[in-house]
């Protein structure tokens, strides 16, 4: 990792290399942290953070679901994000706000400990999440089952959700694939390890409902809004494994992934094995939106 700029820790900007925590930090032991992943893009009109208020809202929703008492307001966190991005001096970056039960008492109950907050950012260029962006990702249906809200709140972007996702991602990579697709305990399609999923069949764009266990992705919402603004629609319905193998096109959405195409699932080729026309069009519309080239979506950008 290239160490550039500063990291915001509980309201203070500290040098990147000094942003450290104690080894007895509660979250390190018990996964008691929540976080966000946000992008800042180098648009023709300057650097802009994509859907900042929505990410800050989700950050606070995640904290609420874990009864975390935030010592900062949404306004303070938004300002902290902008300050950190400016201090980094990068035109394009990935931004990672994190709230975690810190150092204090050890033991399972986290609530005696203070909730610490940090905001880091590092260089990440558009389209840098390579697998599938241009060539199409090869995905493996994971043998790990997506955990669901009976086990822990899945609408929280919580670190504890990601052990399950990381196992799926590792399994996929170890078997020669680029990414995992996770089914839920009912055998329905949930999402990728860190992306939402869309399936196109006979020109109908479909995506699993949030009740299937996927995160309420901000890119998912952006893509749905773009499709609707362009006169189309997205059907939310439970998808079977068969729907994946039989699809004409599949694409995934996420802050890191943006809009990436899936051209193979397990040993099955999707469509003709190349990125489909609908995926290509959505990828382009999304890129126009994040680059500020589509006036309709300019309110999604916070110029810094
Ligand atoms: C599990 C999971 N699903 C979906 C997404 C996509 O969400 P978003 O588009 O808000 O980045 C992410 C990424 O944050 C994720 O980690």
Hey, where are the domains in the chain? 6-123, 137-293
Distance 195 CA to ligand 1 centre (A): 5
Nearest CA to ligand 1 atom 4: 195
The total of other beta-carbon atoms located within 10 Å of residue 128's CB is 12
Does 157 participate in catalysis according to the annotation? yes
Q: 178, exposed or middle or buried, with CB in 10 Å at 0-12, 13-18, 19+?
A: buried
Q: How many helices (H) and strands (E) does the chain have?
A: 7, 17
Structure tokens at 233: 């629609």
Which atom of ligand 1 is least distant from the CA of 157? 16
129: which DSSP letter?
S
pTM for the predicted model, two decimal places: 0.96
How far apart, in whole angstroms, are the C-alpha atoms of residue 24 and residue 304? 36
Match domain 6-123 to its CATH number in 3.30.470.10, 3.40.50.10860, 3.40.50.300, 2.30.110.10: 3.30.470.10
- Which residue among 138, 140, 157, 260 is the active-site one? 157
Q: CB of 276 closer than 6 A to ligand 1?
A: no
Q: What pLDDT, in 10s, does the model give residues 76-122?
A: 999 999 999 999 999 999 999 999 999 999 999 988 889 999 999 99
CATH of domain 137-293: 3.20.10.10
Over residues 12-71, the pLDDT tens digits come to 999 999 999 999 999 999 999 999 999 999 999 999 999 999 999 999 999 999 999 999
Which among 219, 222, 224, 258 is the best mutation to test ligand 1's pocket, defined by most ligand atoms within 8 Å of the CB? 219
Atom of ligand 1 nearest to the CA of 165: 1
- Of residues 222 and 4, more confidence is placed in 222
In the block, residue with structure tokens 């999923």 = 197
At 135, is the pLDDT very low, low, confident or very high (cuts 50, 70, 90)? confident
Measured in Å, residue 249 CA sits from the centre of ligand 1 at 20
Answer whether 254 contacts ligand 1 (Cβ < 6 A).
yes
């Amino acid at each position: 990792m290239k160490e550039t700029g500063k990291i915001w820790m509980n309201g203070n900007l500290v040098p990147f290399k000094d942003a450290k925590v104690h080894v007895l930090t509660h979250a390190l032991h018990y996964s008691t942290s929540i976080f966000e992943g946000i992008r800042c893009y180098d648009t023709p009109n300057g650097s802009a953070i994509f859907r900042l208020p929505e990410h800050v809202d989700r950050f606070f929703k995640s904290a609420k679901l874990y009864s975390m008492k935030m010592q900062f307001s949404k306004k303070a966190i938004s300002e902290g994000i902008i300050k950190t991005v400016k201090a980094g001096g990068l035109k394009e970056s990935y931004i990672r706000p994190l709230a975690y039960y810190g150092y204090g008492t050890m033991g399972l109950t986290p609530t005696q400990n203070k909730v610490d907050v940090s905001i880091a950012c590092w260089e990440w260029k558009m389209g840098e999440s390579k697998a599938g962006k241009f060539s199409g990702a090869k995905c493996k249906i994971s043998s790990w089952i997506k955990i669901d809200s009976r086990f822990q709140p899945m609408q929280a972007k919580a670190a504890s959700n990601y052990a399950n996702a990381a196992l799926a991602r590792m399994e996929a990579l170890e078997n020669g694939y680029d990414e995992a697709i996770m089914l839920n305990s009912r055998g329905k399609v949930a999402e990728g390890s860190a992306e939402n999923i869309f399936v196109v069949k006979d020109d109908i764009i479909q995506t699993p409902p949030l009740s299937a266990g996927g995160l309420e992705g901000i890119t998912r919402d952006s893509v749905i809004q773009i499709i609707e603004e362009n006169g189309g629609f997205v059907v939310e319905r439970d998808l079977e494994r068969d729907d994946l193998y039989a699809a004409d096109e599949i694409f995934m959405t996420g802050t890191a992934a943006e809009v990436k195409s899936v051209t193979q699932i397990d040993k099955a080729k999707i469509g003709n094995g190349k990125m489909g026309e609908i995926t290509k069009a959505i990828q382009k519309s999304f890129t126009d939106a994040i680059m500020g080239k589509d006036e309709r979506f300019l309110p999604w950008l916070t110029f810094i």
